[in-house]
């Protein structure tokens, strides 16, 4: 599938948000995704990921939640993450939805969200605070919303976690699963033997796990296809 990628910009109130957008060039309206980056910032891994998803038929928006800051140093990344204005970040994410809906090649009734690590926790918060999402995919969130926030979750959720994760340990995953079950939330949780935290990011080979990445990618595409491509709003 032919695609095109570009810098994007939209407003969140009086604030501006820079982003990266990838989309199919085929005519018609396509389902859309907001993809949220890890604690490193919006690096080339997430630009490439947006292109991969665009080739699957999605319009993909990756907001720069650090507003230009980017690092490969884990100490700096940790400081950027813990210093993040969470409310502004969530509003930056939610502001991407009307932006996408205003684009002529987007089917505004079919918008989902995908997040990794820090972005996974932010995706959870955003999914809980707006009812219009059609699907949410969470990879090994390292930011844990208050369980009360999950009461607002109304879309199906898919979660991916490494069994050897030292940042998002199995105890957190099981607590998360129990909260979802208690709230009767539609969800799938998958665990990956031998995989640790951030196992999908090949820019960090010390954590990358090829088999878990491939399996989780297949599951993600199947989940998104079910809830976005085959959902009632499909044109």
Structure tokens at 6: 């570009």
Q: What is the pLDDT of residue 231?
A: 52
| Total of domains in the chain | 1
In a domain, 161, yes or no: yes
Residues whose CB is less than 8 angstroms from the CB of residue 110 and which lie 6 or more positions away in sequence, other chains included: 31, 32, 134, 228, 229, 231, 233, 234
pLDDT number for residue 116:
98
The C-alpha angle 205, 209, 214, rounded to 5 degrees, equals: 125
52 within domain boundaries:
yes
| Catalytic sites, residue numbers | 117, 165, 197
Would 119 be classed as within a structural domain?
yes
- Cα–Cα distance for residue pair 33/46, rounded to 1 Å: 13
Q: Is residue 234 part of a domain?
A: no
What CATH number is associated with residue 7?
Answer: 3.40.50.1820
**Residue 145 resides in a domain:** yes
Determine how β-strand 3-12 pairs with β-strand 15-24.
antiparallel
What is the model's pTM?
A: 0.96
E-strand stretches of the chain: 3-12, 15-24, 30-36, 59-63, 106-116, 135-139, 157-162, 187-192
Tell me the residue range of the domain where 103 lies.
3-229
Comparing C-alpha atoms, which of 128, 113, 112, 162 is closest to residue 142? 162
99 near 61, Cβ under 8 Å?
yes
pLDDT string in tens for the chain (235-residue length): 999 999 999 998 888 999 999 999 999 999 999 999 999 999 999 999 999 999 999 999 999 999 999 999 999 999 999 999 999 999 999 999 999 999 999 999 999 999 999 999 999 999 999 999 999 999 999 999 999 999 999 999 999 999 999 999 999 999 999 999 999 999 999 999 999 999 999 999 999 999 999 999 999 999 999 999 975 444 3
Is 97 domain-assigned?
yes
Return the number of other C-beta atoms located less than 10 Å from residue 162's C-beta: 27
Residue 67 falls within a domain, yes or no? yes
Return d(Cα 132, Cα 28) in angstroms, integer: 21
């Amino acid at each position: 599938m032919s695609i095109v990628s570009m810098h994007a910009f939209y407003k969140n109130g009086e604030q501006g948000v820079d982003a990266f957008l990838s989309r199919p060039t085929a005519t018609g309206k396509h389902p859309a995704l907001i993809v949220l980056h890890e604690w490193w910032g919006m690096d080339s891994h997430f630009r490439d990921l947006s292109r991969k998803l665009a080739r699957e038929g999605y319009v993909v928006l990756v907001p720069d939640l650090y507003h230009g800051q980017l690092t490969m140093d884990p100490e700096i990344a940790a400081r950027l993450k813990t210093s993040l204005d969470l409310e502004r970040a969530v509003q930056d994410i939610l502001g991407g939805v009307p932006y996408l809906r205003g684009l002529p090649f987007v089917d505004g009734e079919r918008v989902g969200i995908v997040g990794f690590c820090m972005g996974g926790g932010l995706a959870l918060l955003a999914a809980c605070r707006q009812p219009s999402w059609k699907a949410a995919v969470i990879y090994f969130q390292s930011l844990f919303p208050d369980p009360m926030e999950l009461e607002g979750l109304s879309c199906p959720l898919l979660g991916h976690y490494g069994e050897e994760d030292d940042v998002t340990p199995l105890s957190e995953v099981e607590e998360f699963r129990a909260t979802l079950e208690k709230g009767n939330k539609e969800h799938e949780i998958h665990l990956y033997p031998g995989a640790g935290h951030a196992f999908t990011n090949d820019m960090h080979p010390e954590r990358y796990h090829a088999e878990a990445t491939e399996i989780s990618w297949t599951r993600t595409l199947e989940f998104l296809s079910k809830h976005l491509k085959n959902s009632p709003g499909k044109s």
